[in-house]
């Protein structure tokens, strides 16, 4: 019996809860709709009230209604609300708008459109409240809710600008003019209600959205945390006219201070990163590389702080899209600058390291690689920027394909210089640092670019020669000599010299050159690290000259000339001068040992004696 009684009571309790649940749900839906109606009426009163006390009172009532709406949505998630405008009325208004547009009745079009948009805005408000309930249940991040709310707020502002009664329509004498004004006022009140709800959610998202602890680690979470305090609400009411709030201002100032005080720490981290991963301690160009990378890194840090501060300060205004586009462009420029400096620094360090192991390393190939890498980086970043702004890259490429012929004709010289530079690099005509002579220009190669080659002359002038001109000119490269820098001279001895002494001197000179450590000897084998795989001789391909010639060459006007023709082992100018100087001193000793004297130009004067005077 007790068991039956227990199940009977349990059954009736479920039945009662099932009967009362729809009533409770309906009551809360009506409460939400009643709060929306109150907000519309408050905004309608604000449009018709000029008294400051009444304005303040209405604003306080409106804030209380918004707070009640937020609390109600958190306690009772709204999953469904009645449709604000019936489908029949919606279709009727659209048909009337179309007919009046065809007839040119602009006042009637504006009247019906104001009513239609007022109904659509009420429906959007209800959909937005459902979205807030879903965001709270699904733990959607606050920044996403704020971003979505900002987009809706921007659309309501654009719609408010469209539905305005122009001056020419006001001057028309029409019986429906008063009706148009009333419909526009009602739309303005509904639209302002939607803007109030959106602005209140943007400033106080925590009253509508429940988040996890890890979702609170964002700028908008910090802003909403500050705005939820009681002391912040009256301040925000005063700042509402400027579309800013105390939370955004506080977070913005905090970010600026953090960036200012984090300077030393960031610079130490930058220095540590550069020394650990880019250059070694004690590197020759350490200071230069550090300063080159530090400038774009410092600019990136400062602008990052400015970007975050502006997001926090202007997050409620309509400037966000413009600010985002500007910051996107500036970020792209800074990243290009930073990547260029990193490429230059890394390649410079790696070249220095590789040159210590391989003296024949060609710097110009690395220079070409850097230029190509920079071009790829620049083109990639520009393409990403164009895509970000909605510009069709495929259409641009197609346009370039159509205008390719005209572009090629206009850039003929530039293309000639470019392919001339490619020819110089791949034919290995010269390298950076080589002593070359191109036409009348002689000096060392300072840089081989894609367009031109720069030559540093021996009088320290810098001359730029287009690569197209170099590719069709004869180039004399003095550095393409592995062994052998020529020493050629004539030694003149006097005609009074004994021929046997001259013959002995010739033998001594040949022996001296053969035994000299700085003179290339044909009998010695010269080992070089580079291998030769060409059909030409190894000596001609790698620049090896070891010829030694010492002969009695000619009878000159004032001397008997001995030809001395040989090559020093070193091709370095200073070392060549040393060897040549030593050879000259030894030649003087050989001539003295063989009783020979240097000849010099002489003149013989013959003076004829005058005839004797017979008288």
pLDDT for residue 235: 80
> Which of the two residues, 60 and 493, has the higher pLDDT score?
493
How many Å apart are CA 385 and CA 43, to the nearest integer?
43
Average pLDDT score over residue span 159-182: 78
pLDDT for residue 121: 92
* 283 token code pair: 């590197």
pTM confidence score: 0.47
pLDDT for residue 579: 93
Average pLDDT score over residue span 310-336: 81
Average pLDDT score over residue span 231-251: 77
Residue ranges per domain, the chain? 25-211, 361-377+392-479, 485-524+539-593
Predicted confidence (pLDDT) at residue 535 exceeds the cutoff of 50: no
Each residue's pLDDT tens digit, 366-408: 666 777 788 888 888 888 888 777 777 666 666 655 555 555 5
DSSP letters spanning 398-464: HHHHHTHHHHHHHTHHHHHHHHHHHHHHHHT---TT-EEEETTEEEEEEEE-SSEEEEEETTS-EEE
Each residue's pLDDT tens digit, 72-91: 877 777 777 888 888 888 88
Say whether 485-524+539-593 and 361-377+392-479 share the same fold: no
What burial letters (b/e) apply to 494-519, b meaning 16+ CB within 10 Å?
Answer: eeebeeeebebbbebbbebbeebebb
Q: Does domain 485-524+539-593 have CATH number 3.30.70.100?
A: yes
pLDDT band at 176 (very low <50, low <70, confident <90, very high): confident
Mean pLDDT of the residues in the chain: 78
Element at 231 (helix H, strand E)? none
C-beta of residue 227 within 8 angstroms of C-beta of residue 247: yes
pLDDT for residue 299: 84
pLDDT for residue 14: 41
Q: Across the strands, what pairs with 444?
A: 435, 456
Of the chain, the percentage scoring pLDDT greater than 90 comes to: 12
pLDDT band at 354 (very low <50, low <70, confident <90, very high): low
Lowest mean pLDDT among 268-277, 413-422, 470-479, 529-538: 529-538
Lowest mean pLDDT among 207-216, 424-433, 527-536: 527-536
Predicted confidence (pLDDT) at residue 210 exceeds the cutoff of 80: no
pLDDT band at 26 (very low <50, low <70, confident <90, very high): very low
- CATH class for the region spanning 361-377+392-479: mainly beta
Each residue's pLDDT tens digit, 461-509: 888 888 888 877 888 887 777 777 889 999 999 988 899 999 999 999 9
Give the contacts of 255 (CB within 8 A, at least 6 positions apart): 305, 308, 309, 312
Torsion, Cα of 251, 252, 258, 263 (10° steps): 160
pLDDT band at 22 (very low <50, low <70, confident <90, very high): very low
What are the DSSP E strand ranges found in 40-140? none
Predicted confidence (pLDDT) at residue 10 exceeds the cutoff of 50: no
pLDDT for residue 464: 87
Q: What is the 3-state secondary structure (H, E, C) of 233-294?
A: HHHHHHHHHHCCCHHHHHHHHHHHHHHHHCHHHHHHHHHHHHHHHHCCCCCCCHHHHHHHHH
Lowest mean pLDDT among 164-168, 282-286, 330-334, 486-490: 282-286
């Amino acid at each position: 019996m007790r068991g039956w009684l227990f199940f009977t009571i349990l059954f009736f309790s479920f039945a009662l809860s099932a009967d009362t649940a729809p009533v409770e749900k309906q009551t809360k839906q009506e409460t939400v709709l009643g709060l929306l109606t109150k907000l519309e009426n408050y905004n309608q009163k604000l449009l018709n009230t000029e008294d400051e006390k009444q304005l303040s009172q209405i604003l306080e009532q409106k804030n209380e209604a918004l707070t009640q709406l937020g609390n109600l949505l958190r306690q009772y998630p709204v999953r469904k609300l009645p449709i604000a405008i019936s489908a029949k009325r919606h279709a009727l208004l659209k048909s009337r708008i179309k007919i009046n547009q065809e007839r040119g009745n602009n006042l009637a079009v504006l009247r019906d459109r104001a009513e239609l948009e007022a109904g659509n805005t009420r429906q959007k408000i209800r959909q937005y409240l459902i979205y807030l309930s879903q965001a709270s249940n699904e733990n959607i991040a606050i920044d996403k809710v704020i971003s979505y709310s900002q987009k809706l707020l921007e659309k309501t502002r654009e719609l408010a600008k469209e539905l305005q009664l122009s001056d020419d329509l006001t001057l028309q004498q029409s019986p429906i003019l008063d009706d148009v004004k009333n419909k526009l006022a009602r739309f303005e009140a509904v639209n302002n209600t939607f803007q109030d709800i959106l602005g209140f959610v943007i400033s106080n998202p925590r009253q509508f959205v429940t988040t996890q602890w890890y979702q609170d680690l964002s700028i908008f979470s910090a802003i909403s945390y500050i705005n939820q305090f009681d002391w912040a609400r009256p301040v925000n009411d005063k700042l509402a006219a400027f579309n800013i709030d105390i939370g955004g201002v506080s977070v913005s100032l905090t970010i600026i201070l953090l960036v200012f005080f984090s300077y030393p720490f960031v610079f130490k981290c930058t220095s540590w990163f550069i020394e650990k991963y880019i250059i070694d301690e004690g590197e020759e160009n350490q200071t230069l590389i550090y300063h080159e990378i530090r400038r774009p890194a410092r600019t990136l840090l400062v602008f990052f702080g400015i970007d975050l501060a502006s997001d926090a300060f202007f997050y409620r205004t309509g400037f966000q899209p413009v600010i985002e586009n500007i910051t996107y462009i500036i970020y792209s420029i800074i990243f290009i600058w930073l990547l260029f400096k990193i490429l230059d620094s890394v390649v410079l360090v790696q070249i220095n390291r590789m040159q210590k192991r391989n003296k024949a390393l060609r710097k110009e190939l690395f220079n070409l690689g850097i230029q190509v890498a920079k071009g790829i980086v620049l083109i990639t970043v520009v393409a990403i920027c164009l895509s970000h702004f909605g510009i069709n890259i495929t259409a641009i490429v197609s346009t370039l394909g159509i205008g390719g012929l005209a572009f090629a004709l206009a850039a003929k010289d530039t293309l000639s210089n470019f392919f001339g530079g490619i020819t110089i690099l791949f034919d290995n005509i010269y390298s950076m640092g080589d002593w070359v002579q191109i036409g009348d220009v002689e000096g060392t190669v300072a840089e081989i670019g894609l367009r031109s080659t720069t030559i540093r002359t021996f009088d320290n002038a810098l001359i730029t020669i287009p690569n197209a001109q170099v590719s069709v000119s004869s180039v004399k490269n003095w550095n393409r000599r592995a062994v052998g820098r020529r020493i050629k001279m004539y030694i003149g001895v006097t005609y009074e010299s004994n021929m046997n002494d001259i013959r002995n001197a010739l033998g001594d000179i040949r022996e001296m050159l053969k035994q000299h450590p700085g003179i290339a000897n044909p009998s010695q084998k010269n080992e070089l690290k580079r291998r030769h795989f060409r059909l030409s001789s190894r000596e001609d391909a790698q620049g090896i000259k070891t010829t030694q010639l010492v002969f009695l060459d000619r009878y000159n006007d004032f001397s008997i000339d001995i030809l001395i023709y040989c090559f020093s082992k070193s091709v370095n100018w200073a070392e060549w001068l040393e060897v040549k100087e030593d050879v000259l001193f030894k030649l003087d000793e050989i001539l003295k040992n063989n009783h020979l004297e240097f000849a010099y130009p002489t003149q013989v004067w013959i003076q004829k004696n005058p005839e004797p005077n017979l008288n």
